[in-house]
Each structure stands twice: as structure tokens, then as C-alpha cells.
Amino acid sequence: MDYIYKLEMRVRDYEVDAEGIVNNAVYLHYMEHTRHEFCREAGLSFRAMHEQGIDPVATRIEVDYKQPLGLGDAFVSCLNIKRKGPLFVFYQDIYKADGTLSAQGVVKIATLENGRLTRGDSLAAAFAAYL
């Protein structure tokens, strides 16, 4: 699959459980960090968005775990984005350094502007090159 954004990372010691594999909840952190970095590189830091009254919020997250990551593993977190009505849907995959799929996620994001749910047109304009 072709992705619009990729971020390389490495598993840190505090992210693994007693079995030496990445705890399932940590994958959500990896995916969130990837979305934040994507937004920042697209010119939309979360701090700047919030200061403008724009707050993207997750409404649903689904993750399928395929092959676990372990301590010290290098991996790449990838994403694509689509717009479905007022929602932005991020398709996020995490691959081990050898190309093995580790996890697949689908994250749905709604947009609040000044505390009110909107269609997300301000974000759509910022993401126009990627949608």
C-alpha cells in the first residue's frame, strides 16, 4: 500500500510487558504520535489548532494486532487519510523493520470548533493536499 506519511520509531524498554512484547495499549500511542507528527508536518500543530479553537477528537479506534513488537525493535508507522462526511478516517499500519505487518488501525476523528461539533471544513482545507 502507498502511504502519505511514514514515521520510523523504536520500541523503548518501558513499553514492553512481562513477556517482553509491546503492551497492546502502546500501539495506540504509536498511532497517535504518528497522527500528531503528520499534522505538524502538514502545518497543523495541535497547540496551534487548540489556540484557534479547533480540537480534533477521536470518536472510534479499531486495532487488529498481527505480530508483536519487542524490546528494541525498529518499526515504521504509516498512515493514509480519507474524509467521510464530517469525519476524518486515518488508516494506520505498523510494520516491523523486516516489513512484517505488526498492527492495523482505523481511527475516526471528529472536529470540535470552540467546543461545538462541526463538519471539519477548516481541517479539510488544511488536509486538502492529502485527501
- Among all residues, which ones are annotated catalytic? 17
Three-state SS for 64-125 is EECCCCECCCEEEEEEEEEEECCEEEEEEEEEECCCCEEEEEEEEEEEEECCEEECCHHHHH
For 62, half-sphere exposure in the C-beta direction (CA atoms, 13 angstrom radius) is 5
